[in-house]
């Protein structure tokens, strides 16, 4: 297995990148709902106090005010835990951001099961599903520090409503600094002719490590980092899917309505009858544990992902 370099939590990289961008661009305005600490935005608040708005614990208001600030020509980053931002404020996202077409960047922090032990109230394993069916809203889940940096830089100039989610665990560096990142365009993190692993956000590193395990068994995997859930890069996915003997998707999200179901829909509608498995959180009240423990439990450890692939190859 190749050397693994662990970087920072994507959350920290987000806050650092945004501060750098905001120093260059005074229209950048952060709106928080008592979440500047958990969003690593304390330095931002100290250095650029005129560019941060605090609304208290009021996520609906957070999103509505963000729409109004965007109307007044501010480039708004609305930051709140993903679980509350995308459920409590769903109607504001739908009506005030997407329908009214304000190019706010909604930032869902501590997404997925980052708050593993805090229970279902704090998990966002629904956000892809509920946001995917809202017209005029792009959805991004960066995998590593590089993708996070690039996503935030591109978000500054992004002309449409955008949701970005990430977690708070240090992430493995997957991509080199000269990789091309563009919202809406998947990255092929590794090329292999046998199987296809497609993942998004913090599960990309697990898929990547699974591919390294498979490599030891002479199974060569392509790994796609599908950092943009919407608009979905159908072309890259279908091109790779047509070549693969089996396909496995991996996501820190419900098995309903996320990456896996998007892939299944595309496979079926493009007559690709390849053996396919969705790995994600099943439709049950989740087992208690850290993000890492829970993902491992639901077959998303590198070892279990690789075993899923091997089993599919044997039984296909």
- The residues that touch another protein, with contacts defined as CB under 8 A, are 29, 50, 53, 55-56, 58, 60-61, 63-74, 91-92, 95-96, 99-101
Minimum distance of another protein from residue 73's CB (angstroms): 6
Burial-class residue 62 by CB neighbours within 10 Å (0-12, 13-18, 19+): buried
Minimum distance of another protein from residue 207's CB (angstroms): 39
Minimum distance of another protein from residue 48's CB (angstroms): 12
DSSP states of 152-181: HHHHHH--S-EEEE--SSEEE--S-TT---
CB count, 10 Å around CB of 207? 31
Minimum distance of another protein from residue 64's CB (angstroms): 2
Name the residue with tokens 């050397």: 3
- For residue 77, the SS3 value is strand
- For residue 121, the SS3 value is helix
Q: CA separation (Å) from 55 to 85, 105, 263? A: 13, 17, 38
135 or 176: whose CB is closer to another protein?
A: 135
Rounded Cα distance, 84 and 273, in Å: 38
Rounded Cα distance, 206 and 213, in Å: 11
91 or 235: whose CB is closer to another protein?
A: 91
42 or 57: whose CB is closer to another protein?
A: 57
29 or 249: whose CB is closer to another protein?
A: 29
Minimum distance of another protein from residue 277's CB (angstroms): 39
32 or 143: whose CB is closer to another protein?
A: 32
Minimum distance of another protein from residue 101's CB (angstroms): 7
73 or 271: whose CB is closer to another protein?
A: 73
Pairing of strands 162-165, 275-281: unpaired
Minimum distance of another protein from residue 102's CB (angstroms): 9
Name the residue with tokens 């909604």: 106
Minimum distance of another protein from residue 71's CB (angstroms): 5
Q: Cite the DSSP H helix spans in the chain.
A: 10-24, 42-47, 59-71, 82-87, 90-92, 127-132, 145-157, 204-216, 234-243, 259-269, 291-295, 302-315
* Residues 162 and 66: beta-carbon distance below 8 Å: no
Rounded Cα distance, 145 and 7, in Å: 7
53 or 118: whose CB is closer to another protein?
A: 53
* Residues 281 and 113: beta-carbon distance below 8 Å: yes
Minimum distance of another protein from residue 154's CB (angstroms): 23
101 or 288: whose CB is closer to another protein?
A: 101
74 or 126: whose CB is closer to another protein?
A: 74
* Residues 201 and 111: beta-carbon distance below 8 Å: yes
């Amino acid at each position: 297995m190749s050397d693994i370099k662990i970087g920072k939590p994507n959350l920290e990289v987000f806050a650092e990148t945004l501060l750098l961008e905001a120093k260059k661009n005074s229209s950048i305005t952060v709106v928080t709902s008592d979440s500047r600490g958990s969003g690593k935005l304390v330095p931002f608040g100290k250095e650029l106090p005129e560019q941060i708005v605090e609304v208290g614990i009021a996520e609906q208001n957070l999103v509505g005010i963000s729409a109004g600030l965007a109307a007044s020509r501010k480039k708004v980053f609305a930051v709140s835990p993903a679980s509350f931002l995308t459920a409590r404020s769903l109607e504001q996202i739908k009506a005030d951001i997407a329908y009214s077409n304000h190019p706010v960047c909604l930032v869902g922090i501590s997404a997925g099961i980052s708050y593993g032990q805090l229970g279902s109230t704090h998990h966002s394993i629904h956000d892809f599903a509920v946001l995917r069916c809202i017209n005029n809203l792009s959805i991004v889940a960066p995998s590593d520090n590089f993708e996070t940096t690039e996503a935030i830089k591109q978000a500054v100039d992004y002309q449409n409503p955008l949701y970005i989610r990430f977690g708070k665990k240090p992430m493995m560096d997957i991509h080199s600094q000269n990789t091309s990142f563009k919202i809406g365009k998947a990255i092929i993190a590794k090329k292999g002719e046998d199987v296809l692993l497609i993942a998004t956000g913090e599960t990309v590193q697990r898929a990547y490590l699974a591919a390294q395990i498979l490599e030891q068994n002479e199974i060569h995997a392509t790994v796609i980092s599908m950092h943009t859930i919407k608009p979905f890069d159908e072309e890259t996915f279908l091109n790779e899917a047509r070549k693969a003997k089996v396909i496995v998707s991996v996501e820190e999200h419900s098995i309903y309505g996320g990456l896996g179901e998007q892939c299944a829909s595309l496979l079926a509608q493009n007559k690709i009858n390849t053996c396919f498995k969705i790995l994600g959180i099943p439709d049950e009240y989740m087992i208690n544990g850290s993000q890492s423990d829970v993902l491992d439990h639901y077959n998303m450890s590198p070892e279990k992902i690789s075993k899923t692939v091997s089993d599919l190859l044997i039984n296909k």
